[in-house]
Chain A
């Protein structure tokens, strides 16, 4: 009972405070929107999404029609379907952002986990890597972005690229910023494995690979997941900033575009985006948490 009542009361209180507070603030774009206006903007964004999908259907229909006319004149005509050229809606931007963060995060984890295991197993390697980790860990995405942008533009040259440059740039920026917590936590997790377990594996004469898979990985999983959860949180935060700064498609661009529009709807729409960003961040964290529960051997451990 108390478990549901307390959060609901807190949320209602927050809405009330917001409603009263917003009414006090007069900006040059009108009053700061309250919960009701933000809700109606959210509905408006949904309507826009539906309308855009209809336009998209029309676009493809016209393209087909054009092809058929071409075919009538020239039986050898080859059909070529061009992607829709209209604007991405708010919903589209959410999916773009999710895809980008997933790519960046996976890439980051693929680097951080193996490297973390190696650093945890080998103290010399750890000492060698540590200064680099400490130096790069606190660097902000805003500093990485220009470097990544320029390098990607120089290296990623193709006439028909599989991914757009902006996607690659955002994903790599996310990777660079989010791999550190996973790396450090994995290292610590691996390094602090119970000595008895290591000794047992020695007695059983397990080879290196089996030892890593059967002993090291399972016992360091709780720490590793703490790192992964931190990483995903950072990745999501970094992504929005990167999109905003580099005008790469996604929720960050949506926010920036609305800021530039300076329409009387803009503030409300930006707030919708803020809530969606927060909500998705929260859901991503829950996702990692349930994954952790699934793979962790210690079901009794306190996980928040």
Chain B
């Protein structure tokens, strides 16, 4: 199986750089990297890759910018945030979207006990999805006692920050604004719930220590809370926004320009890995879980990782439900870098004040084009098709593709998202900046 076709050997000769180091954070959605390594898809492309776990998202981003890492598993908001200069200013691009879904919001046992009274039940089990409406009375009682209600997310421009905010706001709870122009990057102006940054693997222990009452994070750190008996995941991001884009594979623009063939080869290997992860209705997932449970990758116990990776999700202990699409790596064109995905992140940055001033719709498109690179993806995919490793059916129709998914409607608040009209989309929210709003 590991034998190479002569063709790829010839191609390997065109690589500008063969020894690469990629960073990742200990989360199950780094799987395409681990699989591309373990299944030797990188080696098939003539690449010698070292994978290295990073301490947190900030360190990871900095190391990609200063060139210590050739590329990394990134939050979709990181390349966008860096490009518009929120937090760090740098040109980071992505040609590969790593997965859909995969996150959840967990609250501590204590908060869950207080919330549960407000959650509708059927046959003794809570009815999902659980909305933040149930959390609202709890937050209000904390406010009445003068105690701040604290929750954790992983990074200011993380999917988790936006998902947690989305869920809270949909339930009428204000998560607070950012005001970068006034030097406020805490994101807690006018907040009912105070969100702070904690690296993913530390989430359960931070909540156990009582520093935060709940968090939004990727797997396996929600299931870990269930296993440790310290918290209850109340809602998955699949329920907040069905099939939402999650991580991307990011490289610096300079790197991509210097090593175009290498970049394409990396994307090829990652596409094959993603396809392997979803092949035959997730038949390979148990093997993938075994790989991820190794200490150099995610390292958590097999059972904890398997809980979400094999199509189920355990809410309150014993309440295990089927969520076949909890983590999607290839289906629904998950790996294609859609402009509309980028624009959604930008709308949320605007909604919460990270983008302080109003921007025209054209600006959103311009940034998306700068950061998301479906052209590189298409070139890699076409080579895979030519080599017979995948078929044209596996990919969007590149000739017709305009980079926008059909308007999406499956949000927890029922609001429709059309990537062509970011400003109109922003106007449809009750909570959040819109039109000419600026944080005062």
Contacts and interface: CB of A to CB of B under 8 A. Distances in A.
A62 B12 CA distance: 15
Given A153-B66, A247-B55, A261 B228 contact: no
Contacts, number: 74
B9 interface: yes
Interface in B208-262: 208, 224, 228-230
A48 to B, nearest CB: 8
Contacts of B202: 260
A261 to B, nearest CB: 3
B301 interface: yes
A85 B201 CA distance: 24
Given A73-B6, A82-B18, A263-B301, A257 B68 contact: no
B10 A257 contact: no
Interface residues of B, number: 40
B74 to A, nearest CB: 18
Closest 10 CB pairs of A and B: A261-B299, A87-B296, A28-B228, A260-B201, A85-B50, A82-B48, A263-B301, A247-B55, A264-B301, A85-B48
B6 A262 contact: no
Contact of A258 (B55, B204, B295): B295
B55 A69 contact: no
Interface string A144-172: 00000000010000000000010000000
Contacts of B384: none
A266 B128 CA distance: 34
A62 B43 contact: yes
Contact of A257 (B40, B53, B224): B53
B165 interface: no
Contacts of B9: 66, 69-70, 73
Contacts of B51: 85
Interface in A28-79: 28-29, 62, 66, 69-70, 73-74
A82 to B, nearest CB: 4
A302 to B, nearest CB: 46
Contacts of B43: 62, 66
A28 B230 contact: yes
Interface string B197-208: 000011011001
A263 B293 contact: yes
Contacts of B170: none
A82 B43 CA distance: 12
A298 to B, nearest CB: 49
B104 interface: no
Interface in B1-34: 2, 4, 6, 9-10, 12-13, 18-19, 26
Contacts of A256: 55
The contact size tier of chain A is 20 to 34
Given A70-B12, A269-B295, 17 more contacts: A28-B208, A62-B2, A66-B9, A69-B4, A70-B9, A73-B6, A83-B19, A85-B19, A85-B48, A87-B296, A256-B55, A260-B26, A260-B53, A261-B298, A261-B299, A262-B300, A263-B300
Contacts of A165: 68
B12, B48, B224, B293 interface centre (most CB from chain A within 10 Å): B48
A66 B45 CA distance: 11
B282 interface: no
Contacts of B55: 247, 256
A20 B376 CA distance: 60
A258 B229 CA distance: 20
A114 B301 CA distance: 53
A28, A73, A264 interface centre (most CB from chain B within 10 Å): A28
B17 to A, nearest CB: 11
B321 to A, nearest CB: 24
A257 B295 contact: yes
B291 interface: no
Interface in A212-228: none
A29 B37 CA distance: 29
A286 B366 CA distance: 66
B405 to A, nearest CB: 35
Contacts of B299: 257-258, 260-263, 266
A261 B26 contact: yes
A257 B299 CA distance: 9
A256 B55 CA distance: 9
B208 to A, nearest CB: 6
Interface in B174-211: 201-202, 204-205, 208
B390 interface: no
B10 A73 contact: yes
Nearest to A58: B2
Contacts of B46: 66
Contact of A85 (B49, B230, B300): B49
